[in-house]
Structure 1
C-alpha cells in the first residue's frame, strides 16, 4: 500500500522541502476529512487521492497540483467549502479542486446530462488553469485501475465515458502514456473477452517475434554507427491492446495481419541526427511509397513531433519506424506535462505545447458559449477530440491543422468566426473550389467573403469541426430570432390597423397587462410567437382592442397598409412552391402554425379559401431594395431537334440565371416541351431571361407556370 512518506521521498528529486511539507499537510487534512469513508473495494478512501498524487508525481507536476490531487474529493464528499479551502491552502489549490469537483448540488434528468454538465464546468476551469485537466486525468486513471469492485453497468458507463472523452483529451494534450493505459483499461472493461483473447494472442506472438525484433534492432543500431550518429537508442515497441483492436476493426484485418507489422523507435540527441537517422534507415531498408510523414517540420496539433516512415525489412516484413529526439520522446509520452515547472507567470511564458493546449481550450469555450445546452456542447467537443489531421496553408503561408474531411467552411471558421459567417466562396490552390468539397493536406486556401453574406443552413450537412457547427447553429438561431421578431412586429402593426389602433396608442401599462394575460415574459417573445405563426397577430390585436374597449371604425380593413418584405427575412419566411412568388409579383401571406408566414402570389388557386380570413391572410408588398435569389418555373415549347436543350440552357446561363431542375419530353414528332426551374432576382430579371429564350429560332413559346 502506498504511503505519503514514500511519495515525499520520490518528490525530493525535483521539489523543495517546504513544498513537499505542504503536500504532506494536504494529505493529512484529506485523511482526516475522509475519515471513516471507504471505497467500493472496502479500502480506506485516502488510498485514492494518494494514488492520484503518485501518478502526477511521475509526471513531475508542481506542488499545487499534488495538493489538489490530495484534496480533489473533499468538496464533493465532505462539508468543506471552497472558501474554507482557499483560506487553508491558498486560492490556487482551491480553484484546482473546484475545477475537478462535480456539480453535486444539482439534480439531473439522467447520467448523460450529469456528465455533460460536469464536463462543461471542468472545461471552463481548464481555460483558467491547464492543471485542472491533468489532475482530472490522473483521477480518472486511478479510477479505471480500480474498476473491478463496481457493478457491471456502472463499470461499462465509466469505461465508455473514458473512451469517448478522457482518452481523446489525453491524446489531444499529447499525454500518450496516460492515453494508452486509459484505452486499454476501458477496452478491457467494455469487452473483457475480446481483450483477454487479444492479450493472450500477443503473449504467444511475442515469443515468435523476439528473434526478428532483435535482428532488426541490431541492424538499425549498426547502421546508426556507420553513419556516425552517436548516443542513439533503438528499440522495438509493442502495439497496445486497444490500438490493435481498433486497427483490426477499422482495416478489417486479422490479428496476424496487424502483428505482421513490426514497430521500432529511434531516439537521438538532436533534430539534425533525426534526419541523419532517416537517411540511415532508408539506406538499409527500402521505404514504402506514401508511408512517410514528417511531424518534426509540421508538428501535430497537440505538439507531437516525430518522423514516421514505413520500410520493407528482412523477408519482406513491414517495419514502422519513428525517429525523434529525447525531448520529443518525453513530449510524446507526457505532452503538456513534460518538464512542467509551474511558476506564477506561467500564463505569460507558456511552452509551445501549453500554448497549443490553451488555443484548443479557448476554442472549447467558444463552442460552449454558442451551444444551446451541455449535451450539444459535449457532442461538438467529441467531434474535435477525434481529429485525423490534415495540414493546409493560408495565403500567407501559415499552417492550419484541421480534421480529415474538413471543408473550406471549416477552414474559414478555424481562421475566425466572422470569416466563416461572411464566407461566400473560396480558392484552393488558386482555383475556384466548392465549399462542400473536403480539403487535402498541402492545399493553399483563400476564403472569399462579403459583408452581406450569411451562413447557410445547408453547411451543417458537410462541416465536420465542432467550432464550425456550433457557430453556424448559433448564428442561424440568433438571426432567426431577430427576423421572427421583426416580421412579428410588422404583422401585429398590420393587425392593429384593422381595429383602428396603432402601437403608439397603447400605453406601457396596457402592454404589460396583455403580456400578463398571455403569460409571456416580454414583447420580444410576443413578436417571435407571431412571426413564427404560433400566435396570430389578429387574435392578439382583437384581444387588445377588447381590453381597451375599442371598436374598429367602418372600412378600417380597406385602409390598412400592406406589410413590406425587405428580403432579410428569408430564414423565417416560406415561399410557396405551388406558385413560386418572386419580387414584383402581387403577393399575400398565409399565417400557418409552425411555418410562420407562407408567401403566395395573389392569383394562386391554393389560397382561395383564405382570402377573406382576416386572421390568417395578410396583404404584403415587396420592398424596393428586395434582394436574393428566387426560383420561377417556366414551360418552353420547342421544335424537336438535336442540341435544343443545350441551347436553352446556355441562353438561360447567359441571362444571369442558374437552372435548378430541368425536364424534357416529346409531345409529338415535331414539338417537345421543356419544363425548367430557374433562379432569378425579380420579375424584371425573369422577363429578360424569357425574352432571350423567345429569340431562339427553335423556341415556339415560353410562359411561366404554377405547379
Structure 2
C-alpha cells in the first residue's frame, strides 16, 4: 500500500515536471495572461483524465502534455494551440462537453477541439470511419489550419509511443500514417515531422529492414563524419573569405528515403551513394537572399563538379507549401555524389516549421490586396474542394491524397499571371483552375500561340490561352486526362446532374410503357427488372432506358418472360444441411490462425502479394470472398489498413505442412556460357524445388531472368536466394510479386 502511494506521488511529480518543461519552452512566445490560460487548460485536462492510463501503463495526461510540447517546440505554434493540444482528447474520452470548453476557453479553442474530435454515430454501409473522420477534420482546415497541425503533433506522439500497442494496431496506425499523415506533413512544409513519421512507419511495417539500415548507418558514422569534414573544409574557407555569415550542417538521409532508393533502383545499401546531404544556411538581409544563395552555389561548384540535371531552383519560384532552397548534386573527390542545399536562415525556418512560419513571413501572390503564400492558395483550393465535392468520403480522401505529394509545374496566363499546378496537368486542368465555367465549356487551348487539344500535358513555363464554346459540355472521357481534384470534382458534378436528368427521363418512359399494360411500377417490379436486365441499381436501369440502350420493346420482352415463368412450377429446394455442405470450402490443412481468438477460418491468398508461410501477414475481410491474406509489406497494405482498418484482422502461421506456395524471383548478372544451366541445377536438383515458369533474356552482356517456383516457406525461399547469389556472374536475386491486383476494388 505504501509503495502504491509512493508510486502515485512520483507520478504526480513527473506530471508537474513535464508541465513546467512545456511552460519553459513556451515562455518566449507568451503574452499577458497566457500562462494563466495554459495552467487552466492543464488543470482541466489533468482532472478529466485523472483515472485514465495509456496502453503503456503511464498516466494519460503524459500524452496531451507531449502533444502540446511538439506543437510549440517542433511546429512553433502559440497559446491557442497549446491550450487546444492539452484539451484535444477531453470531449472524446471524458464527461466534458464541447459547451464546457467554449464556456471556459472561448469559441476558437472549442472549434479546434471539435475538428479534432472523432465523429460518433452510425455510418452508412460501405463507408469508412477513418475517411469520414479525416474529411471532418479537413472541413475545419478551411477555417483554422491549426486543427491539422495539432492532429499531426498528436499522430507524431502516437507513432513515437507505438511500442506498447498490439501488432495489428501498430500496422493499422502505421499504414494510416504513411497513407495520409506523412504526405500531409510534406504538403504543409513540415519536413522534419514528415521524415520522422515515414521512418517510424517503416520501423513498424518492416522492422527487419528498418533495423538493418539503422545498424548500417550507425556502423558508417565515423567514416561519414570524416568524409563530411573533408568535403566542407574548402567550402567553409571560401565562404569565410567572401565575408559570409553562415552555418553548415551535414545530415544522413532518412532510413525511409534510403530504403526507397534501394527498392527503386534495386540496389543494396552499400551502393546508395548519396547517403547524406550538406546544408549551407546563410545569414543575410531579405533583399540580398537570392544573390547570396547563387554566389554560395558558385563557390561550391568551384571545388566540385555539379550534375546539371539535378539542379533544383526553389528560390526564384518557391514550392506551393512555401519551401525555398537551392539544391544541387555535386561529385566529391572520392567519387561520391553529395546533395548540397543552399538557403538563408529565413528559408530554413520555413523548411523546419512549415506553415507556422508562414504567419511570420507572408509572401507570394497578392489576392484582394493582401499578400498570401502558395500554401494559403492551396488551403483555399481544399476549401473549394470540400464545398464542391459530394463524392463519398473514401473517394474524397483518395483524391485529396493524390494531390499531396504531386510535384508542381508553373505556367502563365495570356496576361503573364503565374499559376502553379500539379505535374502532369493538362490544358483542361488549367481551364478549370481559371474558372469552373471556363473549364466546363473548354473546347481547346493555345499553348505558346499554337493550337493544342484539351489533353495536352503542360510543361514548365508554358503560356496558356483557353478557347471556349457555349455548345461544349463535359463528358466522361474528360476524367481520363485531368489530374487536379478541382477539375475532377467539377466534371463529376456536371455528369451527375446530367445523369439525374437521363434517369428521370428513363423512369418516365418505363412508367408510361407499363401503364399501357395496366401495370404499376412498384419497388418489387423495379428489382425484378433490374435483375432481368443485369443492372446494378435501379438508377442504372432507368439510365439505360433514358440513354436509349434499352427500348420499350425490351419492357415487352421482360413482361412476356415474367408471364411464362409464372406457369412453370418452382423446383424443390434442397435441405439447408445439404446446401451448406455443397458450398462450404474445406481446407485439408489449416495453415493460418486468424482473429483475436486465433481460430482456423477459411481464407484465400491475395494475388497482389502472394504470401507464403513465414511472411508477416494480416487478414482482410472482403465483401465477396471472405478473408483474404496479405503480406504486411504488400503494395496495397497501407491503403487497405488506412481506409478499412475495421476490416483488418490478425493472422499468423501455425505448424508448417509440406505444402508448396508460388513465389517469384528476379535474377540479374553478367551473362556467360552455362549460367542458366547452373541456376536450374540449384533449383531442381540441389533444393528439389519445382519451377512453374522461367524466362531469361540477355542484352549487351547483361543477363536478366524471372522464375516462378513453388516453395514451402520464407526460410526455404531465403536458402534458395542465398545459393543462387553464390553462382558465378549473378549480382542480384530479389523476390517479386507475381501478379498485381488492386484489392480495394473488390472491397
RMSD over equivalenced CA pairs, Å: 3.5
Q: How does 1:244-393 map to 2 (within 5 A)?
A: 244-260=258-274, 262-270=276-284, 271=289, 272-338=291-357, 340=359, 352=373, 355-366=376-387, 369-393=388-412
Q: Secondary structure at the match of 2:383?
A: helix
Question: Which is worse superposed, 272-281 or 400-409?
Answer: 400-409
Change (3 A) 1:591 1:194: farther
Partner of 2:571: none
Alpha-carbon distance in structure 2 between the residues aligned to 1:403 and 1:231? 36
Alpha-carbon distance in structure 2 between the residues aligned to 1:353 and 1:21? 36
Contact 2:252-2:275 at 8 Å conserved across structures = no
Alpha-carbon distance in structure 2 between the residues aligned to 1:426 and 1:107? 44
Alpha-carbon distance in structure 2 between the residues aligned to 1:31 and 1:108? 36
Q: Secondary structure at the match of 1:232?
A: strand
Q: How far 1:397 sits from its partner (Å)?
A: 2.4
Q: Secondary structure at the match of 2:272?
A: helix
Alpha-carbon distance in structure 1 between the residues aligned to 2:256 and 2:428? 34
Partner of 2:530: none
Q: Would you say 1:205 and 2:220 are equivalent positions? A: yes
Tell me the TM-score normalised to structure 1 length: 0.69
Which one of the candidate residues 537, 547, 552 is aligned to 1:573?
Answer: 547
Partner of 1:29: 44
Q: How does 1:473-622 map to 2 (within 5 A)?
A: 473-486=492-505, 488-489=507-508, 534=541, 572-574=546-548, 589-590=551-552
Contact 1:491-1:530 at 8 Å conserved across structures = no
Q: Would you say 1:170 and 2:170 are equivalent positions? A: no
Alpha-carbon distance in structure 2 between the residues aligned to 1:40 and 1:108? 30
Q: Secondary structure at the match of 1:320?
A: strand
Partner of 2:572: none
Contact 2:504-2:546 at 8 Å conserved across structures = no
Alpha-carbon distance in structure 1 between the residues aligned to 2:294 and 2:49? 54
Change (3 A) 1:350 1:4: farther
Q: How far 1:349 sits from its partner (Å)?
A: 6.6
Alpha-carbon distance in structure 2 between the residues aligned to 1:432 and 1:292? 31
Q: Secondary structure at the match of 1:314?
A: coil
Q: Secondary structure at the match of 1:387?
A: coil
Q: How far 1:211 sits from its partner (Å)?
A: 1.9
Partner of 1:50: 65
Q: Secondary structure at the match of 2:244?
A: coil
Q: Secondary structure at the match of 2:307?
A: strand
Which one of the candidate residues 68, 93, 99 is aligned to 2:115?
Answer: 99
Change (3 A) 1:151 1:516: closer
Tell me the TM-score normalised to structure 2 length: 0.65
Alpha-carbon distance in structure 1 between the residues aligned to 2:404 and 2:194? 13
Contact 1:389-1:402 at 8 Å conserved across structures = yes
Partner of 2:636: none
Partner of 1:231: 245
Which one of the candidate residues 61, 77, 80 is aligned to 1:61?
Answer: 77
- Which ranges of structure 2 fall in alignment gaps of 5 or more residues? 1-13, 363-367, 528-534, 563-747
Larger Rg: 1
Change (3 A) 1:353 1:413: closer
Contact 2:258-2:275 at 8 Å conserved across structures = no
Q: How far 1:168 sits from its partner (Å)?
A: 0.7
Alpha-carbon distance in structure 1 between the residues aligned to 2:439 and 2:545? 18
Change (3 A) 1:185 1:516: closer
Alpha-carbon distance in structure 2 between the residues aligned to 1:379 and 1:306? 30
Change (3 A) 1:297 1:449: same
Change (3 A) 1:248 1:229: farther
Partner of 2:675: none
Change (3 A) 1:210 1:217: same
Any idea what the Cα deviations from partners look like across 1:86-112, whole Å, max 9, x if unmatched? 0011111111111111113445768x7
Q: Would you say 1:439 and 2:458 are equivalent positions? A: yes
Change (3 A) 1:358 1:382: closer
- Which ranges of structure 1 fall in alignment gaps of 5 or more residues? 501-512, 521-527, 536-568, 577-588, 594-608, 616-707
Alpha-carbon distance in structure 2 between the residues aligned to 1:611 and 1:90? 64
Q: Secondary structure at the match of 2:310?
A: strand
Q: How does 1:145-184 map to 2 (within 5 A)?
A: 145-184=160-199
Q: How far 1:31 sits from its partner (Å)?
A: 0.6
Aligned residues, how many? 530
Alpha-carbon distance in structure 1 between the residues aligned to 2:537 and 2:130? 37
Contact 1:75-1:101 at 8 Å conserved across structures = yes
Q: How far 1:147 sits from its partner (Å)?
A: 0.5
Alpha-carbon distance in structure 2 between the residues aligned to 1:433 and 1:534? 38
Alpha-carbon distance in structure 2 between the residues aligned to 1:243 and 1:533? 46
Change (3 A) 1:472 1:339: closer
Alpha-carbon distance in structure 2 between the residues aligned to 1:530 and 1:281? 65
Alpha-carbon distance in structure 1 between the residues aligned to 2:41 and 2:185? 26
Any idea what the Cα deviations from partners look like across 1:319-374, whole Å, max 9, x if unmatched? 2111111111000111111275799xxx99776265235224324424xx423211
Q: How does 1:415-434 map to 2 (within 5 A)?
A: 415-434=434-453
Q: Would you say 1:462 and 2:481 are equivalent positions? A: yes
Any idea what the Cα deviations from partners look like across 1:515-558, whole Å, max 9, x if unmatched? 899999xxxxxxx99996846xxxxxxxxxxxxxxxxxxxxxxx
Q: Secondary structure at the match of 1:365?
A: helix
Q: Secondary structure at the match of 1:464?
A: coil
Alpha-carbon distance in structure 2 between the residues aligned to 1:263 and 1:482? 58
Contact 1:436-1:462 at 8 Å conserved across structures = yes
Partner of 2:98: 82
Alpha-carbon distance in structure 1 between the residues aligned to 2:413 and 2:477? 25
Alpha-carbon distance in structure 1 between the residues aligned to 2:229 and 2:92? 51
Q: Secondary structure at the match of 1:3?
A: helix
Q: Secondary structure at the match of 1:128?
A: coil
Partner of 1:394: 413
Alpha-carbon distance in structure 2 between the residues aligned to 1:66 and 1:168? 24
Alpha-carbon distance in structure 1 between the residues aligned to 2:29 and 2:163? 34
Alpha-carbon distance in structure 1 between the residues aligned to 2:114 and 2:559? 64
Q: How far 1:572 sits from its partner (Å)?
A: 5.0
Alpha-carbon distance in structure 2 between the residues aligned to 1:530 and 1:107? 21
Which one of the candidate residues 238, 250, 257 is aligned to 1:243?
Answer: 257
Which one of the candidate residues 148, 152, 174 is aligned to 1:137?
Answer: 152
Q: Secondary structure at the match of 2:338?
A: strand
Q: Secondary structure at the match of 2:53?
A: coil
Any idea what the Cα deviations from partners look like across 1:117-171, whole Å, max 9, x if unmatched? 1001101111111111111111111111110111111111101111111111111
Alpha-carbon distance in structure 1 between the residues aligned to 2:109 and 2:331? 52
Question: Which is worse superposed, 32-41 or 424-433?
Answer: 424-433
Q: How far 1:253 sits from its partner (Å)?
A: 3.5
Contact 1:262-1:319 at 8 Å conserved across structures = yes
Alpha-carbon distance in structure 2 between the residues aligned to 1:161 and 1:313? 39
